[in-house]
Amino acid sequence: MNGNPPRCGAQTPDEPPGAFDWWVIAAILAAGGALAYIYSNGIPLINGLIALAKGSAVVLPSAMLAASAAGALAVLALVGYYLLQPDGCIVPKKQTQPVCGSGIVESTADLTSTAVAIFAPFARGPAFAFDVVVKTIYWFLVTQNAQWVICNPIGAAMLRCLIENKVSCAARIGAAIGAVAGAVAGIVLGFLAGAAIASLACGPFVLLCLLLALIVAAIVAAALTYAGAMVGGWIGAAIAEVANEDVVGDTAKSLTPGAIVTVRGDWTRDPDVGFNELFYTTAIGRNGMFPTPPSYTTADADTTPPDDCPIAPVIK
């Protein structure tokens, strides 16, 4: 074994520098502008639909229309947040580099969730993950620029390998389309529901009634927008399930602790904790099984057969 083994855990005393929440500030600005505009000017098409449903046009300024639009916009923002994640679906990944490494699989985890697939298909993350105790020559994959080093219970450094969910991108695009359709229906029905409550005789509680009417309008619109996102996500996922092959995912799911693997993928650093990872793994080569159960040492990994990675790993 060459060199000193990596120190496990935090490599720096501080938290990893997170990106500033510029998009939250942008969302605040956009929300304020949009709602103020809708309050004063209404929404083209929606005003016409409300006139059709109610038999009379929306009176401007309209708090009820703005409230239902607020509910719909909140869900649209949520769906948009997931759609625009920098994971290669719509927005390219940040600062990744293709690398190759090998070692022994220490542990695996199925990251899919039936609840998420049904109730939040636009929020589906990676499908699978496994940690590999890497050979000594691949320690740099774990340590270079890392702020955290993942180790197994006996202190061997590991590389986290993530497997992309093959239906995630299509589900997010489908959810976005469904959310827009749901938003149109939601704003109209939210307006009508809120207006019905506001027209009730509330006696001394007229302001509470008004607040309740606004909240109901927002909730109805949000619920219908969310329902549209769910349905759109299901349809997108179903199409991708049929259309996409998932060779890497199928191989990953067959891995068990002890599998000797060569992995290739896009090497980057986890933005939250700061460990290096493959996001995502693009190829898995299986080279047999290690004869003993986990946990594995780096020395164990070093005894595994030679891999077919480039002889001189490129360090950038």
- The encoded tokens of residue 150 equal 């993942």
CA distance 135 to 315: 16
Among 31, 177, 192, 202, binds another protein (CB under 8 A): 31
Q: Does 210 engage in binding with another protein (CB under 8 A)?
A: yes
- The encoded tokens of residue 301 equal 């990994």
Among 89, 129, 133, 278, binds another protein (CB under 8 A): 129
> Quick one: 35 or 197, whose CB is closer to another protein?
35
Determine whether 33 is exposed, middle or buried from the number of CB atoms within 10 Å of its CB (0-12, 13-18, 19+). exposed
Binding to another protein (CB under 8 A) within 130-149 occurs at 131, 148
Which residues have C-beta within 8 Å of that of residue 38, sequence separation ≥ 6?
Answer: 62, 65, 66, 69
Contact region with another protein (CB under 8 A), list: 103-111, 184-192, 232-240, 301-309: 103-111
> Quick one: 79 or 185, whose CB is closer to another protein?
79
> Quick one: 149 or 185, whose CB is closer to another protein?
149
CA distance 181 to 227: 10
SS3 content of the chain, % helix, strand, coil (to 5): 50, 20, 35
CB-facing half-sphere around the CA of 205: CA atoms within 13 A: 9
Q: How far is the CB of 190 from another protein (least distance, A)?
A: 14
Task: Enumerate binding residues for another protein (CB under 8 A).
Answer: 9-10, 15, 18, 21, 24-25, 27-29, 31-33, 35-36, 39, 63, 66-67, 70, 78, 107, 109-113, 115-116, 119-120, 123, 125, 129, 131, 148, 150, 160, 207, 210-211, 214-215, 272-275
